[in-house]
Amino acid sequence: MELLKKTAVEQHKALINKEVSALELTQASIKRIEELDKTLGAFNSLTVESALKTAKEVDDKIARNEEIPMLAGIPTALKDNMNMIGSKTTCSSKILENFVSPYDATITTKLKQNLVPILGKANLDEFAMGSSNENSAFNIVRNPYNLNKVPGGSSGGSAASVASSEVTLSLGSDTGGSIRLPASFCGITGFKPTYGRVSRYGLIAFASSLDQIGPFARSIEDIAHLYEAIAGYDEKDSTSLNLEVGNISGNLKKDIKGLRVGVIKELLADGVSDDVKNSVENAIKTYEKLGATIKEISLPLLKHSIGVYYIVATAEASSNLARFDGVKYGYRAQDAQNLLDMYCKTRAEGFGPEVKRRIMLGTYALSSGYYDAYYKKAQQLRRLIANDFNQAFKEVDIMISPTCPTTAFDLNSKANNPLEMYLTDIATISSNLVGAPALSMPCGFDKEGMPVGLQIIAKNLDELTLLQSAYALEQELGVYTQRPNI
């Protein structure tokens, strides 16, 4: 059990020193999932056979004294909206309940090339739509720090599986904070790279101009290694950037004296809980202690980001989810009288309430007579928000804020109030709108012992500065070493 709580870097050292085998590590992880997940609900399905096969391959290489990739043999989970051949990919939706992937996503292929045992598919809010992971058609996910609280969404299963030591690493997708919010609530690190840095081929789309795949881990060093493994150009993705990723993991340990840190004024104002504010202010003081310069900055149009996001994202979701109609794959209503009736009944029975809500919002925004007033206006504002970011980054190297104004909230406390739930993403949405890299890392705990997340945002394509600044803070704070008592 103690080995499962270690970072991927520590587990890698144990593997190459032959202190443990990859098979033993993977079996321990499987046993942990079997013991814990009936309560936690982090997984929709397991891929035990293929994971054990990969682990044995790693052990065979070690036995032959061959060099293994950094992440070889490290137990990992995929969010259940990423394709893996031969396994179910459900998006936690009834409409895809029995869909088996006919191909691998690019990120799945890259993990397999790195000999990473993929243990299963992690639970999520249906089609990645939600902030609490209460919208899954199969099971809610619980927070490992307090089983009566939410883990955050939509990648709640991915975050909870890492925080609880069921797996060491996982991948999530982030459309408006769906990696960073669960990372904050579950006390781990979650990273959304620059849009286009990681291929979206094989990711079931929610909002194509916003979605980005990224890693969850317990340390910045692990984040850097997993990011390097999955990032890079992919000709199968037309939005993929043909740029070198570089050696980030080998350049993390840099003195950050002189780093210009911008504190986003609008995100550390009224509405932020005292415990969150205190932890973030302590992180700011720590940056000062490390030699960084602190500057308060303003993003005047940030207040419009939620409105812009929920028009752009729902419009794209309306288009992307039109393919789920019962014709080619997925659930099909059985008692339809004609083709139109089959479409209507399939979608009515197959989609959950939140997905239907967003499809209707998006269809309305794109409809004749409303397109210019809503969708076009939202895209214009999106460009202006990006201008605010560009202006701010002339003065600072990174921007910081709370990841969320509060720590994890109680299960069912916001489920019947969509507007209040949407406001949970106030701090995270803007970086998706502009495509900037951003992460959430633990920076403290509230009075109930729930984790507080600090968000760090960098310029587009400047993942190196982002991860260097996060690593320096992480090492000084030391919060990342703490684990939930579960």
154 cis-preceded (ω within 30 degrees of 0): yes
Task: Write out residues in the chain with pLDDT < 50, as ranges.
Answer: none
Out of 29, 101, 154, 219, pick the active-site residue: 154
Out of 161, 178, 184, 305, pick the active-site residue: 178
Contact 126, 92 (CB under 8 A): yes
* Whole-Å CA distances, 394 to 33, 434, 457: 47, 16, 14
Of the candidates 264, 297, 311, 288, the residue with the CA atom closest to the CA atom of residue 395 = 297
Contact 41, 139 (CB under 8 A): yes
Q: Which pLDDT score, from 0 to 100, does residue 368 have?
A: 85
Helix axes 274-289, 463-477, angle to 10 degrees: 100
Q: Which pLDDT score, from 0 to 100, does residue 172 have?
A: 98
In one-letter notation, the amino acid at residue 168 is T
Total residue length of the chain: 486
In one-letter notation, the amino acid at residue 465 is T
CA angle 358, 239, 213 (to 5 degrees): 60
Catalytic, 131? Answer no
- Six-digit token pair at 22? 């990859």
Q: Which pLDDT score, from 0 to 100, does residue 92 have?
A: 98
Contact 460, 477 (CB under 8 A): no
Q: Which pLDDT score, from 0 to 100, does residue 281 have?
A: 97
Of the candidates 437, 399, 426, 389, the residue with the CA atom closest to the CA atom of residue 296 = 399
Q: How far apart are CA 481 and CA 187, in angstroms?
A: 10
Q: Which pLDDT score, from 0 to 100, does residue 1 have?
A: 65
3-state SS track over the chain: CCCCCCCHHHHHHHHHCCCCCHHHHHHHHHHHHHHHHHHHCCEEEECHHHHHHHHHHHHHHHHCCCCCCCCCCCCEEEECCECCCCCECCCCCHHHCCCECCCCCHHHHHHHHCCCCEEEEECCCHHHCCCCCCCCCCCCCCECCECCECCCCCCHHHHHHHHCCCCCEEEEEECCCCCHHHHHHHCCEEEECCCCCECCCCECCCCCCCCEEEEEECCHHHHHHHHHHHECCCCCCCCCCCCCCCCCHHHCCCCCCCCEEEEEHHHCCCCCCHHHHHHHHHHHHHHHHCCCEEEEECCHHHHHHHHHHHHHHHHHHHHHHHHCCCCCCCCCCCCCCCHHHHHHHHHHHHCCHHHHHHHHHHHHHHCCCCCHHHHHHHHHHHHHHHHHHHHHCCCCCEEEEECCCCCCCECCCCCCCHHHHHHHHCCCHHHHHHCCCEEEEEEEECCCCCEEEEEEEECCCCHHHHHHHHHHHHHHHCHHHCCCCC
Give the chain's domains with CATH numbers: 8-258 (3.90.1300.10), 303-379 (no CATH)
Out of 29, 50, 79, 92, pick the active-site residue: 79
CA angle 55, 60, 61 (to 5 degrees): 100
Q: How many CB atoms lie within 10 A of CB 78?
A: 27
Q: What sign does the CA torsion over 351, 356, 359, 360 have? A: positive
Q: How far apart are CA 471 and CA 458, in angstroms?
A: 14
265-307 pLDDT tens trace: 999 988 899 999 999 999 999 999 999 999 999 999 999 999 9
Q: Which residue has the tokens 């000084």?
A: 476
Q: What sign does the CA torsion over 59, 64, 65, 69 have? A: negative
384-439 pLDDT tens trace: 999 999 999 999 999 999 999 999 999 999 988 887 888 899 999 999 999 999 99
Catalytic, 154? Answer yes
Catalytic, 298? Answer no
Q: Which pTM value belongs to this model? A: 0.97
